[in-house]
Amino acid sequence: MIVIDVEEGDDKPFSTSGNYYKRFDAVTQKLSRKEIKEIFESSTSVHFDERVNSSFTISDISLKKIKQFYSAAKINYKVTSEKIPNILKSLNLMKGNSITNAGVLFFADKIDSFFVHSQTMMLGFKDYEGAVIFDRKEVRGDLLTQFNEAEFFLKRHLSLQAIIEDTRRRNVYEVPQAAWREAIANAIVHRDYKMSGTSIQIRVFPDRIEIINPGGLPDGVTTKNIGNLSSRRNEFIADMFARLDVVEKAGTGIVRIKKAMKEEKLPPPVFEDMGKFFKIILYRPKGVTIEIKGTTQKLPKKNYPRKTTQETMGDMTQTILSKIKSHPAITQKEIASELGLTYEGVKYHIGKLKTAGKIKHVGATKNGKWEILEE
């Protein structure tokens, strides 16, 4: 047994008598099994996507998905069942006779059997605040399918415009495709796949696109230096998307997003660090025409929002508080479903309300109710 002596003020975990503890200010608390697991996983040099999945075998592979990947990557190679082990090894998705998590996420025939929380939620909103949903789609499946479906969703909801340059016509989306393709890939590559109960979210508002992925910014990377520093959470997933020519292995995605928006004279992208989540906002042009269920509407010309991160998050916290006031017995899962948020996102805002002393929960988790402490 390794015992680490911790001086007062040191917040590093330590073990004694077979249990693990961590000091918070002057109080020492015993760590839960989940917290211990997170500490060990964060300290290991092996990333999630390169770890072998002992419950996954060659028989769980979809030959069709491998063929689709090779086609998308423009690799001229005859794919057969007999060649699957060699294919996986050539793609660095196999260690010895075991397949890595990255291999599962790309080629599993039934991904839900191994990762129930690997999905992308796509939402279209009529309003600027995100209270009225007019289109919704959830995609479960391999990562290439999720990327393609997210692309298709944005193509369906963004206007295609014709631009004449030097007597030549080119069709471009109102928000450059290069920007949102890169942002979608960024969300998939940098997602924390260990966070259960979460999903990537693609949100289309009348004035902007929001792309949110579970997993905050890596250590050392902030919203100020992002683009200058590169740290991939899932190196092997990034490599697979580089083979598809979707991302650059050099880690220049953020720079390319900024450049694409600048070239179209649109506001620069906004990056928000939401703790356990990361958000990219791409603003649509002013006065854009959108189509909602066959009805064309021209939105008023308005200035792009200049809300700070705290203001944006404060709006959602107030929305959740209003939900609780009108329905004290509402559960966090019901709030997430009604607002099109992730469960983890709702937990974050609920925590803010509790810390502020505005609400408390009384009774059992499922059958209890919320009490308003401060109006």
Write out pLDDT tens, residues 141-186: 899 999 999 999 999 999 877 666 666 666 788 999 999 999 999 9
Three-state SS annotation for 298-337: ECCCCCCCCCCHHHHHHHHHHHHHHHHHHCCCCCHHHHHH
Three-state SS annotation for 117-161: CCEEEEEEECCCCCCCEEEEEEEECCHHHHHHHHHHHHHHHCCEE
pTM for this structure?
Answer: 0.66
Q: What's the confidence (pLDDT) of residue 292? A: 45
Q: What's the confidence (pLDDT) of residue 31? A: 67
Task: Give dist(CA 65, CA 69) in Å, integer.
Answer: 6
Q: What's the confidence (pLDDT) of residue 293? A: 43
Listed by start position, the domains of the chain span: 1-44, 49-113, 119-306, 311-372
Partner residues linked to 362 by β-bridges: 369
Partner residues linked to 295 by β-bridges: 292
Q: Which of 205, 46, 59, 180 is closest to 127 using CA atoms?
A: 205
The residue type of 43 is S
Q: Which of 227, 221, 269 is closest to 250 using CA atoms?
A: 227
Q: Provide the 10 A C-beta neighbour count for residue 143.
A: 27
Q: What's the confidence (pLDDT) of residue 145? A: 94
Q: What's the confidence (pLDDT) of residue 27? A: 60
Q: What's the confidence (pLDDT) of residue 165? A: 63
CATH of domain 119-306: 3.30.565.60
Q: What's the confidence (pLDDT) of residue 99? A: 95
Q: What percent of the chain has pLDDT over 90?
A: 39
Q: What's the confidence (pLDDT) of residue 365? A: 75
The CATH architecture one would assign to domain 311-372 is Orthogonal Bundle (1.10)
For 363, the token pair is 């009774």
Q: Which of 56, 118, 58 is closest to 88 using CA atoms?
A: 58
Regions of the chain where pLDDT drops below 50: 1-10, 39, 43, 288-312
